[in-house]
Structure 1
Amino acid sequence: MKKGNDWRYRISNKEAIMGTVLAILNFVWWYAFAYGLGGRPVKEYTYILGFPAWFFYSCIVGFIFFTILVFIMVKFFFKEVPFDSDDNDGEGDSR
């Protein structure tokens, strides 16, 4: 079976792009909060639950938010794809 004709490649490419976009968004979120709020002198920091605000938003809230987004993506957008070939050429086990 050729790579271009297999429907599983389209699905896996779409899911790979979605995962890459999510990873880039995670980095942008982290960078924006870490260097946006953390770029001030330490005396000007605000604290949330004992953590500097930049750390709380970039690392704690960001982790929770993107974990939920990954769960939503996997649950609703990713599809179950069989790994075995569609061709029945007599090879392999037949269950």
Structure 2
Amino acid sequence: MKDARFKIANREALIGVALVIINFAIWFGFAYGLGEGDPKEYDFIWGFPAWFFYSCIAGTIFMIILIWIAIKVLFKDVSFHDEEDKA
């Protein structure tokens, strides 16, 4: 009989991989999408080039919020003890 905790752990690992892919897509999209061209023509936000602000600062804040939501909504509290130990 397969332990149900493995199914939960596998699901949560896949959620973690999805979050990493989202983070990389955000970082790569802004860094290379806004970062190309002549640096003299860059837009600046709070003294940072827009590509850096969106990829590194805003992207990090967005990912922290997204991870917090994922933990609160999608992850489950699972006991590390075997169910057989309770009997």
Q: Classify the TM-score, shorter chain.
A: over 0.9
Partner secondary structure for residue 88 of structure 1: helix
Compute the displacement of 1:28 (Å). 0.8
Runs of 4+ in 1 over 2 A off after TM superposition: none
| Aligned mates of 1:78, 1:72 — CA distance in 2 | 9
Letter in 2 for 1:44: E
Q: CA deviation at 1:6?
A: 0.6
Q: Residue 39 of structure 1: CA displacement?
A: 1.1
Counterpart of 2:65 (choices 47, 64, 68) is 68
User: 1:88 Cα deviation (Å)?
Assistant: 3.1
Query: Does 2:13 align with 1:16?
Result: yes
Partner of 2:23: 26
Unaligned runs of 5+ in 1: 91-95
Distance 1:58 1:88 in 2: 48
Number of residue equivalences: 87
Normalised TM-score (structure 2) = 0.94
Identity level (%)? 51
Could you say which structure has the larger radius of gyration?
1
Distance in 1 separating the partners of 2:86 and 2:20: 40
Instruction: After TM superposition, give the deviation of residue 40 of structure 1 in Å.
Output: 1.2
What residue in structure 2 maps to residue 7 of structure 1?
A: 4
Unmatched segments (≥5 aa) in structure 2: none
Query: Which structure has greater helix proportion?
Result: 2
- Paired residue for 1:93? none
CA distance in 1, matches of 2:86, 2:54: 55
Q: So what's the TM-score if we normalise by structure 1?
A: 0.86
